[in-house]
Structures are given as C-alpha cells and as structure tokens.
Structure 1
Amino acid sequence: MKILLTSISIEFPLATYGLAAELRRNSQLAACQVEMIDLDWACLSHYERKNSEIWRYLAKINAVKPDIVCFSIYLWNNLAYRELATITRRLFPTIKIVAGGPELATPEAAEPWLASRDVDVVVRGEGERTLGEVVLRTAEQDTPRGIPGTSFLGDRLVVHEKPSAPIRALDELESPFLAGAVPIELFDRSGASLARYPRVLLETYRGCYMKCAYCQWGNGSNTRFAFPMDRLHRELTWLLSHNVGAIFIIDAMFGYKKQGAIELLEYIVQEKKRLGASTKFNVYHNQDFFDDRLFDLYREADVHVEIDLQSTNPDVLEKLGRGRWKTDSFERHLAAIQKKNVPTTGAADLIIGIPGDNLKSFEDSVDYLLGKHMRVNLYQASILPDTDWARRAGDGKTAHSPLPPRAIFESADFPLNDMIAARLIGHGTDFFNSFPHTATLLSKGWFERPVDLCRALGALVFKNHDLMYGESHQYEGVMQAYLSSLPDTIRALCPDKRKAEILVELASFEGILAALKWKRGGTVLSPVRGWHVEADQWLTQTPLYRREGVTEMEFRFAVGQLAMDCDRLPDPALLDSVAERRHALLFFNDSRPRHFMIDTGFTAPLLHRLNGYFTVAEALANLAVPLPDMAPVWTILSLLSEAGLIVPSHPGTQIGHRAPKADPVPAMAATA
C-alpha cells in the first residue's frame, strides 16, 4: 500500500512530518510506502500561479500511484484543499482521501467534506495513532467503524465516531527529526539562504491550562502532556549541530513546568557553546513563571521572548478566558525581562473585534502598546472549530464567515462600521512597526495620541489607494502597494513643510533598514579574516567594493543622527535642530541591518572605482581631486573593510597591473 502525505504550509509542516515518521515506524505498516509532497501555499492561493502547483501535485500522484492521499487542513489552506479534493476525486476515483487537522476538529466541521463525497475519512484530533489505524483498515478493505476520532462515509450517511482521547504517552511517538524524516536542507542555516523555511518548529508538550475562547489548545481542559526531556535534548542537539537559523518553540506557553523550562534552557546554553551554534529561539513567555534564573537563561540562550496581551480591557480579558493575565501582569513581566536585557520580539498581539469589545476599548489597547514602543500585531477575531467561540456562535449577536478565515464582521458592541475603522488602524500600526522613529516624532508633534495618527494614516491610505489592512505586519508585505506615495502621506499629516521633508527622509532611512530586516536570501557582508591594511599600504591594494550587498542612498538631512538621537529622547523638538548636509548612507546586512555614512563628493565615487582590478592609487589618480591629508581616506577604507563592505580582490582579478610608481599620487582625503 502506498500513502501520499500532503501539506500546504506557511511554516515548516511539523505535523505532516510527524505523521510520516509515525507511519514509517509502525511495524504493522512495514509493507507500506510513505511519500510526501509539500505544496507551495503562496502559489495555490494566487489565481495566476496556482496552476503550476496543481499540476505538480497531479504529477506526483501519477508517479506514486498512491492508494491513500492525506490532507492536513488548516485555516490558511482550507480553500485550496477543497479544490484539490474535488480534482483528486474526479481524476482518481479509487484513491481513498483522508483529511485531518485543526479545521476538521469536530463532527460539524467534518460533515460538509464527507457529504460532498470528495473525502472518504476525516481524522478529528491528534492524528499520529488514528491515521495508522485508518490505514490498516483500508489495507484490509474495511471501514473505520469503531475507531475513535474518525468520521467517514457509511452506506448513505456520514458516521461520526466518539472523540479520541488525547495521546498521553508522547514518549511513544516517533520524532520526525531523529527518525531522519526531516531533511536539514529545508531550513535556513546561514541567515541569508533561500531555504524553504527560515525556522524550525518544535513542540515540547501538548495542551494548555488557559481557556482562551478563540483557541483550540486549551479547549476548557487543564490536561497537558509533555514530551520526554531526553527526546527534546536529542532533537535540540541535532538541530544545533546543523546550526539552523532559528527555532520557534510553538508551545501555547513555553515550559510544561517552570523547572522543566529552566532545565531545557540550561541544556540549550550548554549545547550552543559546545557546538558553536548561533541559533536563535522564539517562545511565548508563560506569565505564571516569574523567576530570575529563567530570565537570565532566556538571555544566555538568545531566546527572543514574546508576551501577548490581546486586549487591555479587563472585562474583555475575563470573557476571553485570560482574566488572570491583565495589564499589571504584562507590565511586571515586561519590566523584568527588559531589566535583565532579555531579547524580545518587541511585539505583542491584539485581536480586532473580540465579542464584548468595542472600538474605543480597542483603540485604548493599541495606544497602550504603542505608548510602550512595542510592535503591534493585529489579527481579526476568527471563529475556529472546536473553540468556545464556535460553541456560542449561534447566539444571533455575532456575524461571521463560515469559510476561512472565518472572520467576525460585527458583534453586539462592535458594529461593522467600527470594525472597518479598527482595521484601518492597522495601516497605522504597521507604519509604527516599520518606521518607528518617523511615526513617533509625527505622532508626538501633531497628534494627541499614537492611535490618532494610526486612524488618520489609515483613512488616508483607504481614501487615496482603496486599500484595507492586510495583517502581515511586515514592511514589504503590507506597505508595498503604497510605499511610493508614503512621502505625500507624511506631508499631508505634517503641516510644517521643512519638518515634513525631514520626516520623509527619515522614513526613507527606516524603510531601507526595514526592507533589509524582512528580506530573505539577500547578501550578508562579513569582513575577510586576517586582512588588515594601514595608512599608505592601501595604495598598492586592489580592493573590491561589495556594491551587490549595499543599498546606497543620498540624503539632504542628517537623518541617521536624528534616529540615534530619537533612540535616546523621542522628542519632536529634535526636528528643529536637524542639520542640513548632503551625504550618502550605505545600508548593508552583516546579520543585522546596518548603515555607514560617507560623503558624496569624494568617498562615494572612490568606492565605485574599487572593482578589484584597479589599485587604490590608480583609483585616486583617476579621481584627480587633490586634498591635503590622506589620513581620513585610510581611516574610512579601514572602517569599510572591518564592516565587510570592501574586501581584497579575488584571485586572478589583477590583470595587467604593474606596481605603482615610487612617487606618491597627489595627496587626497575624504571629507566624511
């Protein structure tokens, strides 16, 4: 029997690889052949691009000729899988189609997929064990009758078996990493690669004792089950030995128990040192864990912590099931990790349109986080299957979509008009996310509150570009459609003409840094080890300017200095004293976005002549700009080489060059 597992993912599909590992280790399925295909979600979600992925999927089926095809269905791929299910049924009517995932967690969610007869069996809940039983029954040409956690097509009716119990003995499950099911090539290991996934997903336990109304993790139960610490250690060692770029521990809250979280972090610190790994980690901090040792280990392990809030309204938090974690808890933990210099994502999530919330309360929440200079990630409230919201969705007070993303459009206290206004605020929060200095100075100078700037900017974007907020929270994804007109938007929001031009340049400065931050696969510059040149030694060098890794832009105002001053004191009065001096900034990435200031009259044209063929002496002579002192030239070249912006010429590039004459070239200097 041949089984084809499919995924349509926006992150590493951990669940699908876990299913593959478990099927392959099942001794009763030893004769089965398990294949996988990971389809491109971005293509399948785009009308003009999805054909290629559909045909790639069909070519895989045609080559493998599977007996069973499995779909892992999530919020973001539900609609794409509906199409694939229909196509598969029409072209391959004898193939059994088994579907599962969070989107099919209840009989009500499974019903339409089975009633359409495009899917034969639905696995509700955890799939590792249940899917194996379904495969065995299929091999025996039998139905899944009696298998808990399944729904299937009977003779004429859809049959729903009782829910399956959670898997308690997680130690019995196969690790997809340790079993060799996961190719390490899937992951970014350099910070600049174009590997399929920038980070690994890893779980340390399942379940949650919180009872958030919008989430399936807790679902009203205090039951949790942990993976064995030994298994986690071995998985971490395997990943760190390959120096993956990042690991996101996807537990609802990091740490099954506080002591276990401490032990795991101690192991990460130990192994990173032993293996020389630079892997970064991301976790959701558990606000029930307030411990100095934990905070210290976050820092030592380079764990970037996120503390989420969802709303600042205590009544709303109570209705959400998050009443124990109000703003006082948020502030206490945030202050502690900042005092300990713990790296953070700098972000917190807020939900738009929570039933029981209203526009004013939502604006207060946005203003609260922006006032703390945090990135605000907004998400529309959605009613997912098997959540408290789903069980109460029929109260008649909430209008929502039955299809993904299942957004709530209005509720008793949040009418549609206010919901639209709240979403437009998202344009403003993303402006703060990608242009924090520009947004802060503009807000403090001409608006009463940060959220007021968000509202004004969102209204302008909608009026001028007819664009609604998109929820990606990234510079390129959200703002690409109107970046070219951002200067005019800033000018419209700032009544002082000179200060508006300064803010326009500051936004350009921050925009380039933001684009470097979000871009994957770009050039990462690094200095050449052991290459050290001083003073007149530069004359005989044939350096290469790494222009392919540099974004160069001229500026009229000293916005780089303004950004640094704003870090110390974000006061709009700074705009009064910004110097006007034409210069250029070199933006580059050496594992983090950086910039370097140079003059446009001498240093910039000199760099453009450093192509790995000409000596510095020849480049200087070509410029023919006599200056009294060479020392600043050597200083700038040395600084640029230390940053990796200029490197020695590659072997074989010095073609037809002779040694420079003994007489020095005319004295020249840079003015930076």
Structure 2
Amino acid sequence: MKILLTALNSKFIHSNLAVRYLRAYTEELEYNCTIREFTINDMKERVLEEIIAEKPDIVSFSCYIWNIEYIKSLAVLIKLINPKIQILYGGPEVSYDSYSFLKDAAGEYVIVGEGEESYYEFVKFQIEYFRKSREKNNESSFLKLKDIKGLCFKWNHEVILNENRELMDMNKIIFPYKTEESFKNKIIYYESSRGCPFSCKYCLSSTIKGVRFLNIKRVKEELQFLMSQNIRLIKFVDRTFNCNHKFTMELWKFIIDVDTDTTFHFEISADVLTEDEIELLQKSPAGRIQLEVGVQTTNDRVLKNIDRHVKFQEIEEKVRKVQRYHNVKQHLDLIAGLPGEDFKSFKESFNNVYSIKPEEIQLGFLKLLKGSSMREEVKNWGMVYSPYAPYEILKTNHMSYDEIVILKRLEKVLDKYYNSGKFIHILNYFISKFKTAFDFYYEMGMFFYEMGYLNRNISSAEYYKVFIEFEEQYLNEKNIELNEIIKYDYLKFNKKKWLPDFLLRYRDKYGEKLIKQKIQNKDIKVSKNYHMEKFSINIKKLLKDSLIEKKEGYVIFDGEKELYLF
C-alpha cells in the first residue's frame, strides 16, 4: 500500500512541514510513504503526470488558502484517470466545515485539525484494508473508520463526520527532517509551540485556546541538527513566539551564542517584548534574527473591532528600541480592509509604520478565513469578500472596491521598491517632494498602472528608468541629481560594471588615471574586481546627511564596500 504525501507550495524555495510531520509520525508502520513537493506555479498537466507515475493507492494533499483551488481541480483529474486512487485532504483550509467540503470534493477522506494521530490511525486502517483485498463495504471496515477521531469520510455515497480529536501533547511530535534530504536553497519551517494567547477575529489561531510548547532541550537539539545542514533560513511557524518569557529568553540566548550562518525568523507581538528580551536581542550577531511584527493598523478603534487589545504607541516604542542597534531585521505587517477602517485611516496607519523605517513593510488584505469569527460580522461592517480562496476582502462600508484596487497598486510598488532594499536613496529623494510617504507610493502606483507596467514584466534596469519617467511626466522636472542618485543605487545593489543607456556617465581619463596609479602603488587598497564611477554630487554627504551637494568626485565599488574620493 502506497500513500503519496503531496504538497503544493506557493514558491519553490518553500518547504512543507505538515507532510513531513505525517511521514515521521508513521515511520514505525509498514507502508510505502513518499513525499512529493510541487508549486502552484507548476503546470497542472505536469504535476498530474508525476502523481500518476508514482502509482499511489492514496494521494494525500496538504491544503491551504493559496493552493486549495489547484488541489480540488487536480483531484478531479486524478479520479478521471484512475478512480481507484483514494484521496485524503488535510490542513487548515479543509478542517472547518469538512462535511460540506467533502460532500462536493473528489475524494474520500478529510483529516480535521491536527493530523498526526488521526493520520496514524488512518494508515493503520488502510494497511489492514489493503491486506484484506480491499473489503471496503463490510460493517467492520465502517466501524473502524468511525472510530478514528478527527476523520471525515465518505461511505455508501454519504459523508460521515467523526467526533473531534483532543489536542495532542506537543512532545509526541516526531522531528520531521531527515539527514538524507537536501535543504539547499530552501526555507525550512520549524514549530516550537502551537496555539496563540490572543483572539484576533480574523485569525484561525483564535479558535484554539491555550499554547503548548516543545521541551526546550529538544528544541535546541533539533535546531543544532538543522544548523549542521547549512540551512540559510529557518522560519518558526509559532503564532506568537514571545508569549512565554522564559522560553523566549532561553531559546534566543542559545541562537545568539551558537556559531552559525543560519538566520532565524520569528513572528512576535512587539508590545509584549520585555526589556530583558530587547537587551538580549541587541547582543545578536547581525543577520542572525529577524522579527515579523503584526501591526495591522495603528487606529485604536479599529484594533478594538478585531479584538486586538494593544496600542500602536507600545509597538512603535519596542520596535524602535530593537532597531537602535541595526542588527535585527524587522518586518512590519499592515492589513487593508479591516472593519471600521476607511481610506484616510489606512493612509495614517501606513505613514505611521513607514516613519519607523523597518527593513520591510508588508501590506496585506483582509482574508475572511473559514471558521474565523470575522465571518460572523460581515453584515455589521458591510463586508463583501470573494467566495473563492483566499476569500479576500472586496469592499466594506468604510472602504470601496476602487479604494482597495488603489491600495493593491500601491502594494506592488511598495514591495518592489521599498522591500527589496535596492532603491533606498532614490526613494528618500522622491518622498521628500511629497507631503507624506503614502502620497508618493499612491502616485507611483497610479503611474505604474497608467503606463501599463502592472500588466507586464519589466527588467531590473527598467525599474530604475521608471523614476526618470515619473519625475519628467508627473513632477515636470528633470534634475541631474536624480540621475546621480539612481546611478549610485544601481551600481551599489546590482554589482555590474556597465550602466544602462538612460543614465548619464562622466568620463575623466586623467582623473581615472591618477586613481589607478594610486591603486597600483597600493595607496588605495581594492580587489581586482572593483568598479570606479564619477559623480557630479557628493555621494558621501548624501549618505551621511541626506543632503545634495554639487561636488564632483569618484566612488569605487568594491564588493560590499565603497570608497569615496571627493
């Protein structure tokens, strides 16, 4: 009997933790268990072909809002090719109202909620079932299926929903990663706790009360193994990692003290960060720890509407304290379309968060998840959302569809320009010309839309050229300073020795010859791969004081460092 544990990730660099949990938890059982990972960007025909080629008896899918539509259509195709293949679904997207889901879906089974123990019992049943030549329709088989808590299944054209399974002891989970796996170029997900102490209405974590933790000694040992595999990034999936002070301090101290190049990503609630935790974070090697902070909105009234009992001032204070030493990357989240938040309020939230200047700002849109209490309040707030996954908000009584669309344009520009970190000085130049940061990104988003840049792929060089077009067509200006700032950011972050045609170059053979002589004489020490460029403004003063001074000079780009000769 062969079960194919199938994951459809959103990107190639992602890995699926759930299917590995299931495989690890059933290691002692004698059955053929294979994991296959694909992405939602893969051609469906190819994925189908590879699944069928595995010749599975059962295909198990890990279901989330980003892959459920793909999976449902894939399951139909599998059944058309081979009706004997059974299909098992699991994951957050099918755990709520699994009865209705399975009634309409192609397939036989759904595991509801935490899957390890239910899957273990399901596999035991299937092993026996296949040994007995698939005597499916006997009463004994039905009763055995009926005894598996957390299982929803079809029997004689009817859907049976068993009773729920109690939450498991976290320490019964089997470590899911194996030495024979290749983790190269992959993000690895790790879980040290389940549950969340908070009750945000839009989040499924609010439906399960309490937080369960792994044994801290075990966590350290497992992380030590993962670090030995030269993994670039380990993302903790804990909903609020820092909800237990003692656990947080001990694990962060371990991560900070260990000798590794691995980066660790944590989702935290910044307002509950303690002074001890902040002081400890300040000792972290640069790049070792990154934090994701859910701000969602800075409007206290809107926060109350979603049962988030925190004030933005508290978040801001803690984020700025962490930021002070520039060693911990911080990622702040905003959500558009929250109940009671209008366009003006969201603009204020955006500007408040932008003023902190975190390394990344994620602008997301409210999703009305199955099972979340937010769905019960849609009429109260005039919420209209897509009936298709990911159930994203379309409009509310406070924010129109057109305003949501505008924010989506802004989000694309923000993500490309701000979050990439490759346009820092260009952005500062432009934002100074607008009343607020939001006003700039709003106009830039509209410009992208009107020029058709949102409907096609543009090259990395074109993303720089857009700024020149924007200045000329929107601001009716053409400043040589902008050319120099774009030139600097382009050379700093793209590591190329040539410049696109739209950027002006100043060649001074005599000046270059003098500098090259100093390099030969080792008065200036650089590697063989340096690049020298002349500028008409004092780049060093721009970087230090954000001031534009017209003064000619050179910048030598040499790997990660620059030398300024003005």
- Normalising to structure 2: TM-score of the pair? 0.83
**1:333 and 2:322 matched:** no
1:513–1:587 CA contact under 8 A, matched in 2? no
**Matched residues in 1 for 2:22 and 2:308: separation?**
32
1:211–1:321 CA contact under 8 A, matched in 2? yes
The aligned counterpart of 2:506 is none
The aligned counterpart of 2:513 is none
SS at match of 1:307: strand
Task: Give the partner amino acid of 1:578.
Answer: K
Q: How many angstroms does 1:514 deviate by?
A: 5.0
2:48–2:77 CA contact under 8 A, matched in 1? no
The aligned counterpart of 2:146 is 145
Give the fraction of aligned pairs with identical amino acids, expressed as a percent. 21
Cα pair distance change 1:88/1:260, threshold 3 Å: same
Q: How many angstroms does 1:73 deviate by?
A: 0.8
Task: Give the partner amino acid of 1:111.
Answer: S
**Matched residues in 1 for 2:519 and 2:344: separation?**
63
The aligned counterpart of 2:268 is 285
The aligned counterpart of 1:122 is 110
**1:489 and 2:452 matched:** no
Cα pair distance change 1:380/1:480, threshold 3 Å: farther
The range that moved more, 382-391 or 360-369, is: 382-391
Where do residues 248-327 of structure 1 align in structure 2 (5 Å cutoff)?
A: 248-270=235-257, 272=258, 276-287=259-270, 289-301=272-284, 302-323=288-309, 325-327=310-312
Q: How many angstroms does 1:15 deviate by?
A: 1.3
Cα pair distance change 1:396/1:212, threshold 3 Å: closer
Task: Give the partner amino acid of 1:214.
Answer: Y
Picking from 406, 416, 428, the partner of 1:421 is 406
**Matched residues in 2 for 1:553 and 1:462: separation?**
36
1:250–1:283 CA contact under 8 A, matched in 2? yes
**Matched residues in 2 for 1:295 and 1:477: separation?**
41
The aligned counterpart of 1:373 is 357
- Normalising to structure 1: TM-score of the pair? 0.71
**Matched residues in 2 for 1:535 and 1:354: separation?**
58
**Matched residues in 1 for 2:538 and 2:393: separation?**
42
The aligned counterpart of 1:24 is 27
1:355–1:414 CA contact under 8 A, matched in 2? no
Structure 1: which 5+ runs fail to align? 45-49, 188-194, 471-475, 517-533, 589-593, 599-670
**Matched residues in 2 for 1:103 and 1:553: separation?**
54
Q: How many angstroms does 1:556 deviate by?
A: 4.3
Picking from 227, 247, 251, the partner of 2:234 is 247
**1:185 and 2:166 matched:** no
2:333–2:363 CA contact under 8 A, matched in 1? yes
**1:360 and 2:361 matched:** no
Cα pair distance change 1:423/1:151, threshold 3 Å: same
Where do residues 399-548 of structure 1 align in structure 2 (5 Å cutoff)?
A: 399-430=384-415, 431-433=417-419, 434=421, 435-444=423-432, 446-465=433-452, 467=454, 484-498=465-479, 501-511=480-490, 513=492, 545=528
Structure 2: which 5+ runs fail to align? 130-135, 496-517
1:432–1:440 CA contact under 8 A, matched in 2? no
The aligned counterpart of 1:579 is 551
**1:350 and 2:334 matched:** yes
SS at match of 1:12: coil
Cα pair distance change 1:508/1:406, threshold 3 Å: farther
The aligned counterpart of 1:68 is 58
Q: How many angstroms does 1:393 deviate by?
A: 4.1
The aligned counterpart of 1:38 is 37
Q: How many angstroms does 1:390 deviate by?
A: 2.9
**1:52 and 2:46 matched:** yes
SS at match of 1:308: strand
Q: How many angstroms does 1:116 deviate by?
A: 3.6
Task: Give the partner amino acid of 2:38.
Answer: L
**Matched residues in 1 for 2:60 and 2:426: separation?**
49
**Matched residues in 1 for 2:380 and 2:99: separation?**
22
Task: Give the partner amino acid of 2:266.
Answer: V
Q: How many angstroms does 1:554 deviate by?
A: 5.0
The aligned counterpart of 2:176 is 176
**Matched residues in 1 for 2:107 and 2:379: separation?**
27
Q: How many angstroms does 1:203 deviate by?
A: 1.1
SS at match of 2:60: strand
1:19-38 Cα distance to aligned partner (Å, 9 max, x none):
1101113xxx2x21211111
- Count of residue pairs brought into register by the alignment: 518
Task: Give the partner amino acid of 2:551.
Answer: A
**Matched residues in 1 for 2:216 and 2:263: separation?**
20
**Matched residues in 1 for 2:430 and 2:209: separation?**
46
**Matched residues in 1 for 2:160 and 2:345: separation?**
45
2:4–2:58 CA contact under 8 A, matched in 1? yes
**Matched residues in 1 for 2:180 and 2:307: separation?**
39
2:99–2:159 CA contact under 8 A, matched in 1? no
**Matched residues in 2 for 1:157 and 1:265: separation?**
50
The aligned counterpart of 1:91 is 81
- Computing the radius of gyration from Cα coordinates, the structure with the larger value is 1
**Matched residues in 2 for 1:595 and 1:233: separation?**
35
1:298–1:342 CA contact under 8 A, matched in 2? no
**Matched residues in 2 for 1:514 and 1:386: separation?**
44
2:538–2:552 CA contact under 8 A, matched in 1? no
1:500-521 Cα distance to aligned partner (Å, 9 max, x none):
x3224423533555567xxxxx
**Matched residues in 2 for 1:250 and 1:204: separation?**
8
**Matched residues in 2 for 1:379 and 1:479: separation?**
24
**Matched residues in 2 for 1:497 and 1:236: separation?**
53
Q: How many angstroms does 1:545 deviate by?
A: 4.3
1:4–1:36 CA contact under 8 A, matched in 2? yes
**Matched residues in 2 for 1:358 and 1:370: separation?**
18
**1:216 and 2:216 matched:** no
**Matched residues in 1 for 2:219 and 2:67: separation?**
29
Q: How many angstroms does 1:371 deviate by?
A: 1.8
Cα pair distance change 1:43/1:597, threshold 3 Å: farther
**Matched residues in 2 for 1:136 and 1:153: separation?**
18
SS at match of 1:239: helix
The aligned counterpart of 2:369 is 384
Q: How many angstroms does 1:420 deviate by?
A: 1.8
1:451-499 Cα distance to aligned partner (Å, 9 max, x none):
111111111111111628x9xxxxx99988855434212333444422x
